Chain A
Amino acid sequence: MSDQIKNATQEYATRLGDDSVVLGHRISEWVSYGPFLEEDIAYGNVSLDYIGRARMFYTYAAELANDGRDEDDFAFMRNDREYRNLLLMEMPKGDFAYSQVRQLFADVYYTVLLPELLQSKDETLAAIAAKAIKETKYHLRRSRDWVLRLGDGTEESHKRAQKAVDQLWGYTHELFDMDETEQLLADEGIGVDVSKLRDAWLQMVSDILTEATLTVPEDSWAVRGGRTGYHTENLGHMLTEMQIVHRSFPGCKW
Protein backbone atom coordinates (compact mmCIF):
# COMPACT_ATOMS: atom_id res chain seq x y z
CA MET A 1 0.00 0.00 0.00
CA SER A 2 1.51 3.37 -0.98
CA ASP A 3 1.75 6.06 1.68
CA GLN A 4 -0.80 8.16 -0.15
CA ILE A 5 -3.37 5.36 -0.20
CA LYS A 6 -2.56 4.40 3.34
CA ASN A 7 -3.07 7.93 4.65
CA ALA A 8 -6.29 8.28 2.69
CA THR A 9 -7.56 4.96 4.03
CA GLN A 10 -6.72 6.00 7.58
CA GLU A 11 -8.62 9.26 7.09
CA TYR A 12 -11.53 7.33 5.57
CA ALA A 13 -11.72 4.84 8.45
CA THR A 14 -11.60 7.77 10.89
CA ARG A 15 -14.49 9.52 9.11
CA LEU A 16 -16.63 6.39 9.16
CA GLY A 17 -15.72 5.85 12.81
CA ASP A 18 -16.66 9.45 13.62
CA ASP A 19 -20.07 9.03 11.97
CA SER A 20 -20.69 5.90 14.03
CA VAL A 21 -19.50 7.14 17.41
CA VAL A 22 -21.35 10.45 17.14
CA LEU A 23 -24.64 8.86 16.11
CA GLY A 24 -24.12 6.08 18.66
CA HIS A 25 -23.65 8.64 21.40
CA ARG A 26 -26.71 10.63 20.33
CA ILE A 27 -28.82 7.46 20.49
CA SER A 28 -27.36 6.61 23.90
CA GLU A 29 -28.78 9.90 25.19
CA TRP A 30 -32.18 8.17 25.02
CA VAL A 31 -31.19 5.53 27.54
CA SER A 32 -33.52 5.87 30.53
CA TYR A 33 -35.49 8.55 28.64
CA GLY A 34 -37.22 6.19 26.20
CA PRO A 35 -41.00 6.47 25.80
CA PHE A 36 -41.40 3.09 27.51
CA LEU A 37 -39.14 0.37 28.87
CA GLU A 38 -39.13 -1.97 25.86
CA GLU A 39 -38.25 0.84 23.45
CA ASP A 40 -35.60 2.09 25.85
CA ILE A 41 -33.84 -1.28 25.75
CA ALA A 42 -34.28 -1.69 22.00
CA TYR A 43 -32.88 1.73 21.12
CA GLY A 44 -30.01 1.23 23.55
CA ASN A 45 -29.12 -1.90 21.57
CA VAL A 46 -28.92 0.17 18.39
CA SER A 47 -26.59 2.60 20.13
CA LEU A 48 -24.30 -0.26 21.11
CA ASP A 49 -24.22 -1.46 17.51
CA TYR A 50 -22.97 1.95 16.39
CA ILE A 51 -20.39 2.25 19.16
CA GLY A 52 -19.14 -1.24 18.30
CA ARG A 53 -18.87 -0.19 14.67
CA ALA A 54 -16.91 2.93 15.67
CA ARG A 55 -14.48 0.77 17.64
CA MET A 56 -13.75 -1.35 14.58
CA PHE A 57 -13.17 1.68 12.34
CA TYR A 58 -11.01 3.43 14.94
CA THR A 59 -8.96 0.33 15.66
CA TYR A 60 -8.22 0.08 11.97
CA ALA A 61 -7.45 3.80 11.69
CA ALA A 62 -5.06 3.48 14.66
CA GLU A 63 -3.37 0.48 13.06
CA LEU A 64 -2.81 2.42 9.83
CA ALA A 65 -1.66 5.56 11.69
CA ASN A 66 0.81 3.41 13.63
CA ASP A 67 1.78 6.32 15.89
CA GLY A 68 1.00 4.80 19.28
CA ARG A 69 -2.62 5.96 19.39
CA ASP A 70 -5.43 3.48 20.01
CA GLU A 71 -9.20 3.51 19.47
CA ASP A 72 -9.77 5.48 22.68
CA ASP A 73 -7.42 8.25 21.54
CA PHE A 74 -9.45 8.61 18.37
CA ALA A 75 -12.75 8.79 20.25
CA PHE A 76 -11.78 10.79 23.32
CA MET A 77 -8.67 12.83 22.59
CA ARG A 78 -9.73 14.74 19.49
CA ASN A 79 -11.54 18.09 19.54
CA ASP A 80 -14.63 18.97 17.54
CA ARG A 81 -12.60 20.56 14.73
CA GLU A 82 -10.71 17.28 14.35
CA TYR A 83 -13.91 15.27 14.09
CA ARG A 84 -14.95 14.49 10.52
CA ASN A 85 -18.49 13.18 11.02
CA LEU A 86 -21.47 14.14 8.88
CA LEU A 87 -23.50 16.94 10.47
CA LEU A 88 -26.67 14.83 10.39
CA MET A 89 -25.17 12.53 13.03
CA GLU A 90 -24.39 15.29 15.53
CA MET A 91 -27.78 17.01 15.59
CA PRO A 92 -29.22 16.90 19.13
CA LYS A 93 -31.60 14.08 19.94
CA GLY A 94 -34.63 16.40 19.89
CA ASP A 95 -37.99 14.76 20.50
CA PHE A 96 -38.62 11.10 19.72
CA ALA A 97 -39.94 11.84 16.23
CA TYR A 98 -36.83 13.89 15.44
CA SER A 99 -34.53 11.08 16.53
CA GLN A 100 -36.46 8.45 14.57
CA VAL A 101 -36.54 10.54 11.38
CA ARG A 102 -32.78 11.13 11.65
CA GLN A 103 -32.41 7.41 12.29
CA LEU A 104 -34.38 6.60 9.16
CA PHE A 105 -32.20 8.92 7.07
CA ALA A 106 -29.06 7.31 8.52
CA ASP A 107 -30.33 3.73 8.27
CA VAL A 108 -31.30 4.14 4.62
CA TYR A 109 -27.88 5.73 4.01
CA TYR A 110 -26.12 2.68 5.44
CA THR A 111 -28.50 0.40 3.58
CA VAL A 112 -27.23 1.81 0.27
CA LEU A 113 -23.63 2.40 1.42
CA LEU A 114 -22.63 -0.84 3.15
CA PRO A 115 -23.23 -3.25 0.23
CA GLU A 116 -20.78 -1.06 -1.74
CA LEU A 117 -18.23 -1.04 1.09
CA LEU A 118 -18.56 -4.82 1.21
CA GLN A 119 -17.00 -4.85 -2.27
CA SER A 120 -13.96 -2.89 -1.06
CA LYS A 121 -10.54 -4.24 -1.98
CA ASP A 122 -9.55 -3.38 1.57
CA GLU A 123 -10.32 -6.56 3.50
CA THR A 124 -10.74 -4.86 6.87
CA LEU A 125 -13.27 -2.32 5.57
CA ALA A 126 -15.13 -5.09 3.76
CA ALA A 127 -15.22 -7.21 6.94
CA ILE A 128 -16.61 -4.31 8.99
CA ALA A 129 -19.26 -3.78 6.30
CA ALA A 130 -20.21 -7.45 6.43
CA LYS A 131 -20.94 -7.22 10.14
CA ALA A 132 -22.65 -3.83 9.92
CA ILE A 133 -25.02 -4.86 7.11
CA LYS A 134 -26.85 -7.28 9.38
CA GLU A 135 -27.24 -4.65 12.10
CA THR A 136 -28.47 -2.04 9.65
CA LYS A 137 -31.12 -4.37 8.26
CA TYR A 138 -32.61 -4.52 11.73
CA HIS A 139 -32.12 -0.81 12.45
CA LEU A 140 -33.99 0.13 9.29
CA ARG A 141 -36.82 -2.19 10.17
CA ARG A 142 -37.20 -0.30 13.44
CA SER A 143 -36.84 3.26 12.19
CA ARG A 144 -39.12 2.63 9.19
CA ASP A 145 -41.69 1.20 11.55
CA TRP A 146 -41.51 4.23 13.83
CA VAL A 147 -41.69 6.78 11.03
CA LEU A 148 -44.79 5.00 9.68
CA ARG A 149 -46.37 4.93 13.13
CA LEU A 150 -45.60 8.56 13.89
CA GLY A 151 -46.33 9.96 10.43
CA ASP A 152 -49.56 8.03 10.08
CA GLY A 153 -50.43 8.23 13.78
CA THR A 154 -52.12 11.09 15.60
CA GLU A 155 -52.33 14.69 14.48
CA GLU A 156 -49.61 15.59 17.00
CA SER A 157 -47.24 12.77 16.01
CA HIS A 158 -47.71 13.60 12.32
CA LYS A 159 -46.94 17.25 12.97
CA ARG A 160 -43.77 16.42 14.89
CA ALA A 161 -42.57 13.89 12.33
CA GLN A 162 -43.09 16.33 9.46
CA LYS A 163 -41.29 19.06 11.37
CA ALA A 164 -38.34 16.71 11.92
CA VAL A 165 -38.23 15.80 8.22
CA ASP A 166 -38.24 19.49 7.25
CA GLN A 167 -35.59 20.43 9.81
CA LEU A 168 -33.23 17.57 8.94
CA TRP A 169 -33.59 17.51 5.17
CA GLY A 170 -30.91 20.15 4.53
CA TYR A 171 -28.36 18.04 6.41
CA THR A 172 -28.82 15.03 4.14
CA HIS A 173 -27.13 16.47 1.05
CA GLU A 174 -23.73 16.27 2.67
CA LEU A 175 -24.12 12.49 2.88
CA PHE A 176 -23.43 12.24 -0.83
CA ASP A 177 -20.52 14.66 -1.17
CA MET A 178 -17.13 13.46 -2.41
CA ASP A 179 -13.77 15.13 -1.87
CA GLU A 180 -10.27 14.34 -3.16
CA THR A 181 -9.55 11.76 -0.47
CA GLU A 182 -12.72 9.80 -1.04
CA GLN A 183 -12.45 10.10 -4.81
CA LEU A 184 -8.93 8.65 -4.70
CA LEU A 185 -10.15 5.70 -2.64
CA ALA A 186 -13.21 5.19 -4.84
CA ASP A 187 -10.95 5.09 -7.90
CA GLU A 188 -8.76 2.51 -6.15
CA GLY A 189 -11.79 0.34 -5.35
CA ILE A 190 -11.25 0.87 -1.62
CA GLY A 191 -13.83 3.52 -0.79
CA VAL A 192 -17.41 4.06 -1.89
CA ASP A 193 -18.44 6.70 -4.40
CA VAL A 194 -21.34 8.07 -2.35
CA SER A 195 -22.26 10.62 -5.04
CA LYS A 196 -23.80 7.72 -6.96
CA LEU A 197 -25.98 6.65 -4.05
CA ARG A 198 -28.33 9.61 -3.66
CA ASP A 199 -30.93 8.42 -6.17
CA ALA A 200 -31.31 5.08 -4.40
CA TRP A 201 -31.44 6.80 -1.00
CA LEU A 202 -34.00 9.34 -2.17
CA GLN A 203 -36.19 6.65 -3.68
CA MET A 204 -36.28 4.57 -0.49
CA VAL A 205 -36.75 7.55 1.81
CA SER A 206 -39.47 9.06 -0.40
CA ASP A 207 -41.37 5.77 -0.50
CA ILE A 208 -41.32 5.46 3.27
CA LEU A 209 -42.21 9.12 3.92
CA THR A 210 -45.07 8.93 1.42
CA GLU A 211 -46.39 5.75 3.00
CA ALA A 212 -46.19 7.55 6.35
CA THR A 213 -48.37 10.35 4.85
CA LEU A 214 -45.43 12.75 5.21
CA THR A 215 -44.30 15.23 2.58
CA VAL A 216 -40.88 14.90 0.96
CA PRO A 217 -39.35 18.40 1.21
CA GLU A 218 -38.03 20.47 -1.69
CA ASP A 219 -34.24 20.68 -1.87
CA SER A 220 -34.20 24.34 -0.90
CA TRP A 221 -31.24 24.55 1.51
CA ALA A 222 -28.18 22.53 2.41
CA VAL A 223 -25.64 22.71 5.22
CA ARG A 224 -22.21 21.14 4.78
CA GLY A 225 -18.92 21.06 6.61
CA GLY A 226 -18.66 17.95 8.78
CA ARG A 227 -16.08 16.24 6.57
CA THR A 228 -13.80 19.30 6.78
CA GLY A 229 -14.22 19.78 10.53
CA TYR A 230 -16.69 22.67 10.38
CA HIS A 231 -19.45 21.56 12.70
CA THR A 232 -22.66 22.89 14.15
CA GLU A 233 -22.45 24.22 17.70
CA ASN A 234 -23.94 20.94 18.89
CA LEU A 235 -20.88 18.73 18.49
CA GLY A 236 -18.67 20.56 20.96
CA HIS A 237 -21.22 20.22 23.74
CA MET A 238 -21.71 16.56 22.94
CA LEU A 239 -17.99 15.79 22.96
CA THR A 240 -17.53 17.63 26.26
CA GLU A 241 -19.90 15.20 27.88
CA MET A 242 -18.64 12.16 25.99
CA GLN A 243 -14.96 12.83 26.67
CA ILE A 244 -14.89 14.22 30.20
CA VAL A 245 -14.25 10.97 32.06
CA HIS A 246 -11.48 9.84 29.76
CA ARG A 247 -9.80 13.24 29.81
CA SER A 248 -10.15 13.66 33.59
CA PHE A 249 -8.76 10.22 34.36
CA PRO A 250 -6.35 9.30 31.55
CA GLY A 251 -5.80 5.58 31.23
CA CYS A 252 -8.53 4.88 33.78
CA LYS A 253 -9.85 1.31 33.70
CA TRP A 254 -12.88 -0.30 35.33
Chain B
Amino acid sequence: MTNITEKLELFEVFVRSKRGLDHKHVGSLHAEDHEQALEYARDCYTRRSEGVSIWVVKSADICSSQEDDADCFYDPNDDKPYRHATYYVLPDPVNNM
Protein backbone atom coordinates (compact mmCIF):
# COMPACT_ATOMS: atom_id res chain seq x y z
CA MET B 1 0.00 0.00 0.00
CA THR B 2 2.89 2.41 -0.46
CA ASN B 3 3.62 3.76 -3.92
CA ILE B 4 0.20 3.48 -5.42
CA THR B 5 -1.25 6.43 -3.49
CA GLU B 6 1.39 8.66 -5.09
CA LYS B 7 -0.31 8.00 -8.41
CA LEU B 8 -3.73 8.89 -7.04
CA GLU B 9 -5.11 12.35 -6.43
CA LEU B 10 -5.84 13.76 -3.01
CA PHE B 11 -9.39 14.93 -2.36
CA GLU B 12 -10.93 16.89 0.50
CA VAL B 13 -14.25 15.59 1.77
CA PHE B 14 -17.16 17.69 3.03
CA VAL B 15 -20.20 16.08 4.60
CA ARG B 16 -23.55 17.65 5.39
CA SER B 17 -24.81 15.85 8.45
CA LYS B 18 -28.40 17.09 8.37
CA ARG B 19 -30.63 18.97 6.01
CA GLY B 20 -30.33 22.70 6.66
CA LEU B 21 -26.80 22.49 8.03
CA ASP B 22 -23.63 23.40 6.14
CA HIS B 23 -21.24 20.93 4.60
CA LYS B 24 -18.33 20.49 7.01
CA HIS B 25 -14.81 19.41 6.20
CA VAL B 26 -14.28 15.90 7.60
CA GLY B 27 -10.97 14.81 6.10
CA SER B 28 -9.23 13.79 2.92
CA LEU B 29 -8.66 10.67 0.86
CA HIS B 30 -6.94 9.33 -2.25
CA ALA B 31 -8.86 8.41 -5.39
CA GLU B 32 -8.41 8.29 -9.13
CA ASP B 33 -11.18 10.73 -9.98
CA HIS B 34 -14.17 12.57 -8.54
CA GLU B 35 -16.59 9.69 -8.93
CA GLN B 36 -14.34 7.26 -7.11
CA ALA B 37 -13.59 9.87 -4.45
CA LEU B 38 -17.31 10.22 -3.80
CA GLU B 39 -17.66 6.47 -3.33
CA TYR B 40 -14.71 6.26 -0.98
CA ALA B 41 -16.01 9.27 0.95
CA ARG B 42 -19.21 7.32 1.48
CA ASP B 43 -17.25 4.33 2.76
CA CYS B 44 -14.67 6.19 4.84
CA TYR B 45 -16.72 9.02 6.33
CA THR B 46 -20.42 8.12 6.39
CA ARG B 47 -20.37 4.52 7.63
CA ARG B 48 -22.40 5.38 10.71
CA SER B 49 -24.97 7.32 8.67
CA GLU B 50 -23.45 10.70 9.42
CA GLY B 51 -24.57 12.42 6.27
CA VAL B 52 -27.20 13.38 3.77
CA SER B 53 -24.87 14.94 1.23
CA ILE B 54 -21.18 14.71 0.31
CA TRP B 55 -18.92 17.08 -1.60
CA VAL B 56 -15.45 16.10 -2.79
CA VAL B 57 -12.94 18.65 -4.04
CA LYS B 58 -9.45 18.05 -5.38
CA SER B 59 -7.07 19.26 -2.69
CA ALA B 60 -4.97 20.88 -5.41
CA ASP B 61 -7.95 23.04 -6.38
CA ILE B 62 -8.18 24.61 -2.96
CA CYS B 63 -6.41 27.93 -2.72
CA SER B 64 -5.57 28.60 0.88
CA SER B 65 -4.25 31.60 2.75
CA GLN B 66 -0.76 31.35 4.19
CA GLU B 67 0.26 31.92 7.76
CA ASP B 68 2.56 34.70 6.54
CA ASP B 69 -0.53 36.50 5.30
CA ALA B 70 -1.98 36.83 8.79
CA ASP B 71 -0.49 40.31 9.31
CA CYS B 72 -2.14 41.86 6.31
CA PHE B 73 -5.26 39.71 6.32
CA TYR B 74 -6.51 39.97 9.88
CA ASP B 75 -4.57 42.47 11.96
CA PRO B 76 -5.97 45.58 10.27
CA ASN B 77 -9.39 44.65 11.61
CA ASP B 78 -8.26 44.96 15.22
CA ASP B 79 -8.51 48.77 15.21
CA LYS B 80 -11.90 48.91 13.60
CA PRO B 81 -14.19 48.17 16.53
CA TYR B 82 -17.11 49.80 14.72
CA ARG B 83 -17.34 46.65 12.59
CA HIS B 84 -18.68 44.84 15.66
CA ALA B 85 -22.25 45.31 16.82
CA THR B 86 -21.02 45.61 20.41
CA TYR B 87 -19.37 48.94 19.56
CA TYR B 88 -22.70 50.66 19.33
CA VAL B 89 -24.55 51.94 22.38
CA LEU B 90 -28.14 50.92 22.08
CA PRO B 91 -30.97 53.20 23.10
CA ASP B 92 -32.71 51.96 26.25
CA PRO B 93 -35.94 50.85 24.56
CA VAL B 94 -33.89 48.24 22.61
CA ASN B 95 -32.51 46.41 25.64
CA ASN B 96 -33.11 42.89 24.47
CA MET B 97 -30.91 42.60 21.45
Q: CB within 8 Å of B: which residues of A? A: 34-42, 45, 138, 141-142, 145, 149
Residues of chain A within 8 A of B36, CB atoms compared: 145
- B50 sits at the interface (CB 8 A): no
**Interface residue ranges of B1-41 to A (CB < 8 Å):** 1, 4-5, 8, 29-32, 35-36, 39-40
Q: Are B4 and A35 in contact (CB under 8 A)?
A: yes
Sorted nearest first, the 4 A-B pairs with minimum C-beta distance are A42-B43, A38-B40, A36-B4, A45-B43
Interface centre among A40, A42, A45 (most CB of B within 10 A): A42
Interface centre among B5, B32, B36 (most CB of A within 10 A): B36
Q: How far is the CB of B72 from chain A (nearest CB, A)?
A: 38
Q: For the complex, what is the distance from the CA of A39 to the CA of B35, rounded to whole Å?
A: 13
Q: CB within 8 Å of A: which residues of B? A: 1, 4-5, 8, 29-32, 35-36, 39-40, 42-44, 47
Q: Are B39 and A145 in contact (CB under 8 A)?
A: yes
Q: For the complex, what is the distance from the CA of A2 to the CA of B91, rounded to whole Å?
A: 84
Closest to A33 in B: B1
Q: Are A38 and B4 in contact (CB under 8 A)?
A: no
Q: For the complex, what is the distance from the CA of A142 to the CA of B43, rounded to whole Å?
A: 11
Q: For the complex, what is the distance from the CA of A145 to the CA of B35, rounded to whole Å?
A: 9
Q: How far is the CB of B12 from chain A (nearest CB, A)?
A: 14
Give the interface SS of chain B, mostly helix, strand, loop or mixed.
helix
Q: Which of A35, A42, A138, A141 contacts B40 (CB 8 A)?
A: A42
Q: For the complex, what is the distance from the CA of A13 to the CA of B5, rounded to whole Å?
A: 42
List, sorted by A's number, 13 A–B pairs whose CB atoms are closer than 8 Å. Answer: A34-B1, A35-B1, A35-B4, A36-B1, A38-B30, A38-B43, A38-B44, A39-B40, A41-B43, A41-B44, A42-B40, A138-B42, A141-B39
Residues of chain B within 8 A of A41, CB atoms compared: 40, 43-44
Q: For the complex, what is the distance from the CA of A149 to the CA of B47, rounded to whole Å?
A: 25
Q: A149 and B32 in contact (CB under 8 A), knowing A36-B8, A38-B43, A42-B39?
A: yes
Residues of chain A within 8 A of B8, CB atoms compared: 36
Q: For the complex, what is the distance from the CA of A46 to the CA of B90, rounded to whole Å?
A: 60
Residues of chain A within 8 A of B35, CB atoms compared: 145
Q: For the complex, what is the distance from the CA of A142 to the CA of B47, rounded to whole Å?
A: 16
